[in-house]
Amino acid sequence: EVIHKICSFVGKVLRIIIVRKRGVQALVEFDSPETASKVKVELNGADIYSGCCTLKIEFAKINRLIVRGNDQDNLDLTVDETGRLMFYFVTLSRV
């Protein structure tokens, strides 16, 4: 939820996958490459909380996230409750 709030402030988030190996990393899919670029420019090096959890943003090598169910670590905002599809990436990692 924190990653979604931070990223959606800059642009439209489609999907998020949180990976909890060696710290916390997040794959975030946006509605366009332009949005992903804007997020990288505006948020790279920013702190999630004052003085900690600095974002290191890099472009991912994949074009689409596959989310298998919504939970605390996986979020697909493109599918409504009936499972119908309603509609590029930045990797966020804690330094």
- Please say if the pLDDT value at position 72 is more than 50: yes
Q: Which CATH superfamily is domain 2-94 in?
A: RRM (RNA recognition motif) domain (3.30.70.330)
Cα–Cα distance, 71 to 47 (Å, whole number)? 24
CA–centroid distance for 64 within its chain:
12
| In the chain, domain spans | 2-94
Q: What DSSP element (H or E) covers 39?
A: helix 33-43
Percent of the chain with pLDDT strictly greater than 90: 16
Cα–Cα distance, 27 to 6 (Å, whole number)? 13
- Taking only the tens place, the pLDDT of each residue in 14-24 is 998 888 888 88
Residue recorded with tokens 């994949």: 62
Cα–Cα distance, 70 to 9 (Å, whole number)? 21
- Please say if the pLDDT value at position 38 is more than 90: yes
Mean pLDDT of the chain: 80
Average pLDDT in the 8-18 region? 89
